[in-house]
A and B are shown apart, each in its own frame.
Chain A
């Protein structure tokens, strides 16, 4: 049973560039959430996708955008990168069962460094 897979695992960008991160949810899951984790901090919620729509959004600027595809996989796009965007980006999947209050299954993350 495939778990949550993310790509790439590491990447380095320069300020002002754009980045796309990818996530495939655990088999059978239909909901994908993205989190940003700065060094030494807890994960911060970016947004959540279900049925190809953004369902919830955290306190992140419009530079952060996402997409969910019909096969439930998802992308996170960040435009006009800032040094402060350097972080571990985590994708989490779950099953939307009338409220989605259960546990999340996380991928290993994409480590983004902005120079």
Chain B
């Protein structure tokens, strides 16, 4: 079973536009992470936000976390064709090391 659920399942935008995707989870967490995956290859870590943080930025990425609603959002600003990928949220609870992934949001950025 998967802890996180991303919304929407797919997103199509044009270069320069912003892309927003959301993640909801079920149980309490230690931290939440976002990963990117290009065409069925390995996952690349984007950003980690801890349960006591509400917002975090990294370059064109902005992540928010609302633990009361058990939800997170990932915003990619000024998107580029190279941002075309699947994006996954993953949570860690209080246990040691296991990451639980959602089903992902497929983002397509057209020039």
Is the CB–CB distance between B97 and A94 below 8 Å?
yes
Is the CB–CB distance between A101 and B92 below 8 Å?
yes
A55 within 8 A of B: yes
B30 within 8 A of A: yes
Is the CB–CB distance between A106 and B96 below 8 Å?
no
A108→B42 CA distance, assembly (Å): 4
Give the B interface residue count (CB, 8 A): 27
A80 within 8 A of B: no
* Cβ contact of A108, chosen from B33, B41, B48, B98, cutoff 8 A: B41
Give the A interface residue count (CB, 8 A): 33
Count of inter-chain pairs, beta carbons less than 8 A: 71
* Cβ contact of B40, chosen from A48, A88, A92, A103, cutoff 8 A: A88
B-side residues, CB < 8 A to A, are 1-2, 4, 30-31, 33, 35, 40-45, 48, 88, 90, 92, 95-104
Given contacts A42-B101, A48-B97, A90-B43, 12 further A-B contacts (CB under 8 A): A33-B97, A41-B104, A45-B99, A56-B95, A56-B96, A92-B43, A101-B97, A103-B48, A104-B43, A105-B45, A106-B35, A109-B42
Cβ contacts A to B, 24 pairs, < 8 Å: A31-B97, A33-B98, A40-B103, A41-B2, A42-B90, A42-B103, A43-B43, A43-B88, A44-B101, A45-B100, A48-B96, A50-B97, A56-B95, A58-B98, A88-B40, A90-B43, A101-B30, A101-B97, A102-B48, A103-B45, A103-B48, A106-B35, A107-B42, A108-B42
